[in-house]
């Protein structure tokens, strides 16, 4: 459903024609720019509230003055509205919505869905079939959880390529952290019970888990299976011991604590997590407020967006009441298919946790603003040093890394006024050039980066840093001219005569050299960006070089042709799986004899080839 197309949009008439069903509304400017996306438990009431003449804050009034039309999408319930709102905010980035910065992935626990499930740390898209638990505030919290899981339930954590090709138990079995399903030392039924118990534990249902274990222990005792009963008794003891140490308000709890601190239009949301009473630590988020100055609104947007993507706990404590709390609570409960409660004005120990989160939010925001201020000052110094008319909003830097021309990799890192923008980092595997030709490598990388930007209308930097002197700079300039890219300030960062930090020369396209010195804030900023590009390039180069050398080792082994090499890599799921396999496992691959398996194993591990396998 759409509103009028003119700038004189009649919001009252549009709202009056809407239904009272839940849904999502979108506001557009005259040039069809999306201004705002919102959810509503009742569309007519919510949209009408914007045009009822009551006082609005400056941000809302500015937004409403630009509205030329509106669209709405009716949903079946508030949970669908919340989900759709989050999807649109993330994909379309409306101008006036508070948005959760999502340039990092959140660590989770993955329990795979297969015959012998694997439990492991996971980051990134949920591409692997299975159950995902979390997110957790930090990788350390995930590892602590996994450490407990392996001790309690002895589930495997090895990759499938290793699991499928073992002939004897690994060290994890020897130290009591895995039941060795890879070599059938545990029955499928028993392993499935361990998986079920692990799921109960990760869901925060330790009391139910303890009851099930106690019942199983009694059944084993009645059946005179005293060894199994003793193992279950030890498991219950470990579980109870852990529960006695970790609790909130005297009982196990599954909750998150959220507090929001604001200074001007900058915000920090602090998340303190408890799962099954275990304190998993804190994590700070810095949402883009897009002009919103109300901490209540920012926290409400955070709760909607964050728990729209991540499973909420049973209880969420807030440091303040938020708008549409009842709508959000209902939507989260519906999506989670269980009761989710939002609380504020809590007492006792929970109030202490809210205060702790609030204090951490205030301190973290102050530190972040100090850091941003210093970063902005250095960015402004770059503008002044280079004589630019406009503020520097985006800086990119390219670096080339290789070893004697081998496995050449180019890196591109991106910084804005707030610091590194890691989601925009890129690496380029360089090919088709003379080994060691840094000039050709730089030109190829620049061409690939900006050709795509020109074709797709992607962002261009205000300043483009090239790690190198006049030669590399000339190649970059030529590539930009060939692509028709204008308005980008090119700067070469050449090492000084003594190659010492602070003695760098900044080479400009007109031949001038600037030597601002080690005390210059502008050079300090450029060094920071250049060093990050260097680190990112080296990391990519080392990975590519290692892969190439491993592949080369296979190619150098007599009796290994392209077909057999492909068969080996496919069987073990890659080089890592092949290297982790023993001689017996390698010999199981079709077409690989015991002698050839011995040669492969020896070459991959730097061992001398046995005489029996040398023939």
CA–CA distance, 98 with 290 (Å, rounded to integer): 6
Q: Would the pLDDT of 246 be above 50?
A: no
Dihedral angle, C-alpha 506, 509, 513, 518, nearest 10 °: -10
Q: Considering only CA atoms, which of 576, 493, 575 is closest in space to residue 534? A: 493
Q: Would the pLDDT of 561 be above 90?
A: no
Token pair 């190619």 is found at 555
492 membership: H or E segment, kind and range: strand 489-494
Tell me the helix, strand and coil percentages in the chain, rounded to 5. Answer: 45, 20, 35
What are the distances in angstroms from CA 401 to CA 26, 406, 529, 536, 537?
A: 47, 9, 16, 9, 6
Residue 102 CB neighbour total at 10 angstroms? 13
Token pair 């118990």 is found at 197
Report pLDDT for 226. Answer: 77
Q: Considering only CA atoms, which of 300, 301, 242, 319 is closest in space to residue 275? A: 242
Report pLDDT for 615. Answer: 46
The β-bridge partners of 25 are: 38, 72
* Sheet with 341-343: strands ordered across: 278-285, 266-275, 255-263, 315-318, 341-343
Q: With contact defined as beta carbons under 8 Å apart, do 299 and 321 qualify? A: no
Beta-carbon contacts of residue 159 (< 8 Å; ≥ 6 apart): 118, 573, 576, 577
Share of the chain above pLDDT 90, in %: 25
- Comparing 250 with 218, the larger pLDDT belongs to 218
Reduced to 3 states (helix: H, G, I; strand: E, B; else coil), residue 510 is coil
The helices-and-strands tally (H runs, E runs) of the chain is: 21, 19
Q: Would the pLDDT of 1 be above 80?
A: no
Q: Parallel, antiparallel, or unpaired: how do β-strands 315-318 and 341-343 relate?
A: parallel
Report pLDDT for 518. Answer: 79
The β-bridge partners of 272 are: 257, 282
HSE-CB at 165 with a 13 A cutoff on CA atoms is 25
Q: Would the pLDDT of 103 be above 70?
A: no
Query: DSSP per residue over 218-231, as a string?
Result: HHHHHTT-HHHHHH
CA–CA distance, 566 with 261 (Å, rounded to integer): 56
Tokens of 183: 């070599």
Report pLDDT for 239. Answer: 62
Planar angle of CA 292, 330, 252, nearest 5 degrees: 100
Residue 183 CB neighbour total at 10 angstroms? 13
Report pLDDT for 612. Answer: 52
B/e letters for 270-298, b = 16+ CB within 10 Å, e = fewer, are bbbbbbbbbbbebbbbbbbbbebbbbbbb
Beta-carbon contacts of residue 482 (< 8 Å; ≥ 6 apart): 447
Report pLDDT for 104. Answer: 55
Phi, then psi, of 449 in degrees rounded to 5: -65, -50
Tokens of 522: 């502008």
Tokens of 139: 């990788």
Token pair 């620049």 is found at 446
Token pair 């830097």 is found at 397
Report pLDDT for 242. Answer: 53
Report pLDDT for 398. Answer: 95
Q: With contact defined as beta carbons under 8 Å apart, do 299 and 322 qualify? A: yes
pLDDT in tens, 276-331: 667 777 888 888 888 888 899 999 999 988 888 788 888 999 999 998 898 889 88
What are the distances in angstroms from CA 36 to CA 27, 29, 94, 98?
A: 5, 10, 5, 9
Q: With contact defined as beta carbons under 8 Å apart, do 71 and 28 qualify? A: yes
Report pLDDT for 248. Answer: 47
CA–CA distance, 514 with 523 (Å, rounded to integer): 10
Query: DSSP per residue over 363-418, as a string?
Result: HHHHHHHHHHHHHHHHHHHHHHHHT-SS---EEEEEEEEEETTEEEEEEEEEEETT
The β-bridge partners of 397 are: 413, 465
Q: Look up the pTM and report it.
A: 0.60
Tokens of 12: 């009252």
CA–CA distance, 353 with 227 (Å, rounded to integer): 43
HSE-CB at 58 with a 13 A cutoff on CA atoms is 6
Q: How many residues does the chain have?
A: 615
- 16-20, 239-243, 590-594, range with the lowest pLDDT: 239-243
- Comparing 315 with 608, the larger pLDDT belongs to 315
Token pair 């209540």 is found at 296
| Max CA separation in the chain (angstroms) | 92
Tokens of 169: 């138990």
Q: What is the mean pLDDT of residues 183-187?
A: 90
């Amino acid at each position: 459903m759409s509103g009028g197309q003119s700038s004189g949009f009649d919001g009252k008439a549009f709202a009056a024609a809407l239904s009272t069903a839940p849904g999502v509304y979108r506001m557009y400017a005259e040039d069809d720019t999306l201004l705002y996306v919102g959810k509503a438990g009742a569309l007519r009431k919510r949209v009408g509230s914007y045009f009822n003449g009551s006082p609005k804050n400056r941000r809302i009034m500015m937004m409403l003055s630009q509205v030329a039309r509106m669209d709405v999408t009716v949903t079946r319930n508030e949970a669908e509205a919340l989900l759709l709102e989050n999807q649109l905010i993330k994909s379309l980035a409306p101008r006036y919505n508070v948005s959760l910065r999502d340039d990092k992935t959140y660590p989770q626990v993955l329990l795979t869905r297969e015959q012998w499930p694997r439990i492991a740390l996971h980051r990134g898209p949920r591409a692997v079939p299975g159950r995902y638990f979390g997110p957790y505030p930090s990788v350390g919290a995930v590892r602590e959880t996994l450490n407990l899981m392996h001790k309690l339930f002895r589930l495997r954590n090895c990759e499938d390529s290793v699991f499928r090709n073992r002939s004897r138990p690994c060290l994890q079995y020897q130290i009591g952290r895995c039941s060795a399903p890879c070599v059938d030392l545990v029955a499928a039924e028993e392993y499935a019970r361990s998986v079920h118990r692990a799921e109960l534990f990760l869901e925060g249902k330790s009391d139910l888990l303890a009851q099930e274990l106690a019942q199983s222990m009694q059944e084993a005792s009645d059946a005179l299976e005293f060894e199994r009963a003793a193992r279950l008794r030890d498991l219950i003891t470990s579980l109870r011991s852990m529960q006695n140490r970790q609790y909130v308000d005297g009982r196990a709890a599954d909750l998150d604590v959220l507090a929001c601190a604001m200074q001007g239009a900058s915000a920090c949301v602090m998340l303190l997590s408890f799962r099954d009473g275990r304190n998993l630590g804190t994590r700070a988020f810095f949402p883009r407020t897009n002009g919103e100055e109300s901490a209540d609104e920012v926290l409400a947007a955070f709760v909607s967006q964050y728990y729209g993507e991540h499973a909420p706990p049973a209880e969420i404590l807030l440091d303040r009441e938020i708008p549409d709390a009842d709508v959000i609570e209902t939507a989260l409960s519906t999506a989670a298919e269980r009761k989710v409660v939002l609380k504020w004005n809590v007492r006792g120990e929970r109030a202490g946790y809210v205060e702790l989160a609030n204090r951490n939010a205030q301190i973290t925001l102050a530190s972040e603003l100090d850091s941003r201020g210093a970063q902005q000052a250095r960015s402004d110094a770059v503008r002044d040093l280079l004589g630019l008319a406009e503020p520097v909003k985006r800086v990119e830097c390219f670096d080339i890394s290789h070893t004697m021309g081998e496995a050449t990799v180019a890196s591109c890192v991106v910084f804005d006024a707030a610091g590194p923008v890691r989601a925009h980092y890129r690496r380029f595997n360089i090919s088709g050039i003379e080994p060691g030709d840094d000039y050709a490598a730089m030109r190829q990388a620049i061409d690939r980066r900006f050709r795509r930007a020109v074709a797709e209308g992607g962002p261009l930097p205000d300043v483009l840093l090239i790690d190198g002197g006049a030669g590399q700079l000339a190649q970059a300039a030529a590539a930009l001219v060939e692509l028709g890219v204008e308005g980008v300030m090119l700067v070469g960062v050449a090492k000084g005569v003594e190659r010492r930090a602070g003695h760098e020369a900044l080479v400009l396209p007109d031949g001038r050299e600037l030597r601002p010195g080690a005390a210059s804030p502008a050079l300090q900023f450029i060094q920071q960006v250049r060093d990050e590009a260097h680190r990112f390039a080296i990391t990519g180069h080392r990975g590519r070089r290692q892969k190439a050398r491993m592949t080369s080792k296979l190619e150098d082994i007599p009796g290994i042709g392209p077909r057999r090499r492909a068969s080996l890599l496919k069987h073990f799921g890659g080089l890592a799986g092949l290297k982790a396999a023993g001689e017996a496992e390698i010999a199981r691959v079709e077409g690989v004899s015991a002698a050839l398996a011995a040669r492969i194993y020896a070459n991959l591990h730097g061992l001398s080839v046995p005489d029996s396998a040398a023939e």
